[in-house]
Structure 1
Amino acid sequence: MAARHEQIAGELRVAIDRGDYPVGGRLPTEGELAEQYEVSRGTVRQALAALVAEGLVGSRQGTRRVVLGARRSQSFTELRSFAQWARAAGHKATGRVVETARRPASTEDALRLQLPTGAEVLYVLRVRGLDGQPALLERTVYAGWIADAVERIEPDCESVTQRLLDKVGVVFAHGEHVIDTLAAGTRDAELLGVRRGTPLLRVRRVTTAHAGRPVEWSDDRYRPGTVTFRIHNSIGANPLVRQPGE
């Protein structure tokens, strides 16, 4: 069960998306929110901190927070779990495995997962849904050491990330993401319910555990209009790196 501050943050996200608090408008004060949700101001501050990190509300404290945006967005810290992000934002995520196979690691698999070429890996093609509509195709390759645990997960599991944490204690601690676009091929178009050639947002990611051991790499393709991505940078911290197209 989500912590109370996560529940409050989720309810506030839904209210912002719904237009209860329009862009440029202000949220109730911390005291008003604490009274509304029957929690301490500290809990309210935790909830608001999540909205600030996502760019939904302003960061100025001591006054009512200004609403900066109402678009359904996903921060880079949440990229590891589509289902966790959807649930926190008040949306319903689903998952359906279309294809799964053990196979020898390709050159790309070996490079991304730091494996010898030909080592056994597990390939999974999964369709993710958002509020009843197809939203995302995940083509994920798991390192052989975690393959058995992944295969034991039911095909319609909402969050593989959470299940691996709960069952085998694997924490997805670090991620590297490359974002670009590509046109939907025949199979992508069929699974996502779009026309062939429709532009898709693609996120290629490599996820590692705390000690730096690669767990998976994935080619994720989003149906247009499902999510946007935001990057927060400053003069002291710039996580965005430009590179030539591949």
Structure 2
Amino acid sequence: MYRKVAADLREAITTGAYGEAGRLPAEGALAEQYGVSRGTVRQALAVLRSDGLVTSRRGTRRVVLGGARVQSFSELLSFTHWAYSMGEEPGGILDSLVRRPADAAERDQLRLEPGAEVYVTVRLRTLSGTPVMVERTIYPPRVGEIVAELPPDVVSHTEVLREHGILFTDADHTIDIVAANAEDARLLGCRRGGPLLRERRRTTDPTGTPVEWSQDRYLPGTVAFSVHNSLATSALSRHARELD
């Protein structure tokens, strides 16, 4: 029964029945509405919480986190700028920062020589105080050395790096779904093994030199990505004109 209640509430939330940052009915009201016990309602709410659709505050009516915030790939925005563009307050909490030898994949992505080291950061990113994403970023030494000197609660690494002349100008993105690991579950408050939207990104500076290789994992319902394609600028279109 709790799965049925969760599914019904999920549909209502995603279709906007409760609005942005609205509140679900009280547990007692939901129990009466669905003809189930409060324990069943709590189980259903726990599912919605693990899916990132409602907050986890106990003893109060659950607050709906709202629909996914759309992020466009037509322009390269940092998490901070993207949050501000939606009227949200961005946050960043450093969980760990280590310096270690780069593995083969990292050397390939960042174009590093054998034996090179990298700086690896894990941060919890928030929107207006609500956890939405775990950010894992691997920096080459010249970038990581600057990041390592930053306060742990600094909101934007990108802005500080820009002040040091390191610009993020181009990026390649790969989007897929992954299962939350133990670290994701601890930081995001989701269930281990639950689905997360993953964005893998390699960013380069104006010279084409890689400045980061990042993996961001978002809670469901917190972000959506939009992509604009144009036949006029595609390789297929250029090839067709050549044939003409």
2:190 corresponds to which residue? 194
In the alignment of these two chains, the number of paired residues is 171
- The letter for the 2-side match of 1:97 is L
1:81-112 deviation line (CA, Å, top 9, x unaligned): 10110011101110011010110011111010
Q: Does 1:229 align with 2:225?
A: yes
8 Å Cα contact 1:80-1:161 kept in structure 2: no
8 Å Cα contact 1:93-1:158 kept in structure 2: yes
Q: How does 1:165-204 map to 2 (within 5 A)?
A: 165-166=162-163, 168-204=164-200
Q: CA deviation at 1:128?
A: 0.4
Provide the C-alpha distance between the structure 2 equivalents of 1:78 and 1:181, rounded to a whole number of angstroms. Answer: 23
Relative to structure 1, the CA distance from residue 183 to residue 176 in structure 2 (aligned partners, 3 Å threshold; closer, same or farther) is same
What is the TM-score of this pair, normalised by structure 1? 0.66
Q: Does 1:215 align with 2:190?
A: no
Q: Does 1:127 align with 2:124?
A: yes
SS in 2 for 1:220: strand
Bigger RCO (CA 8 Å, 6+ sep): 2
Q: CA deviation at 1:225?
A: 1.2
Provide the C-alpha distance between the structure 2 equivalents of 1:225 and 1:213, rounded to a whole number of angstroms. Answer: 34
8 Å Cα contact 2:76-2:170 kept in structure 1: no
Provide the C-alpha distance between the structure 2 equivalents of 1:78 and 1:192, rounded to a whole number of angstroms. Answer: 27
**Match for residue 89 of structure 1 among 70, 86, 89:** 86
2:101 corresponds to which residue? 104
Relative to structure 1, the CA distance from residue 89 to residue 187 in structure 2 (aligned partners, 3 Å threshold; closer, same or farther) is same
SS in 2 for 1:236: helix
8 Å Cα contact 1:80-1:207 kept in structure 2: no
1:148 corresponds to which residue? 145
1:76 corresponds to which residue? 73
8 Å Cα contact 1:78-1:85 kept in structure 2: no
Q: CA deviation at 1:238?
A: 5.1
8 Å Cα contact 1:140-1:216 kept in structure 2: yes
Q: CA deviation at 1:78?
A: 5.0
1:50 corresponds to which residue? none
2:10 corresponds to which residue? none
- The letter for the 2-side match of 1:102 is R
Sequence identity, in percent?
45
- The letter for the 2-side match of 1:117 is P
Runs of 4 or more above 6 Å deviation: none
Relative to structure 1, the CA distance from residue 236 to residue 89 in structure 2 (aligned partners, 3 Å threshold; closer, same or farther) is same
8 Å Cα contact 1:97-1:156 kept in structure 2: yes
5+ long unaligned stretches in structure 1: 1-16, 19-69, 240-246
SS in 1 for 2:118: strand
Relative to structure 1, the CA distance from residue 183 to residue 159 in structure 2 (aligned partners, 3 Å threshold; closer, same or farther) is same
5+ long unaligned stretches in structure 2: 1-18, 21-66, 236-244
- The letter for the 2-side match of 1:205 is R
Provide the C-alpha distance between the structure 1 equivalents of 2:68 and 2:129, rounded to a whole number of angstroms. Answer: 19
Provide the C-alpha distance between the structure 1 equivalents of 2:162 and 2:68, rounded to a whole number of angstroms. Answer: 29
SS in 2 for 1:229: strand
**Match for residue 158 of structure 2 among 151, 154, 161:** 161
Q: Does 1:115 align with 2:112?
A: yes
CA RMSD of aligned residues (A): 1.9
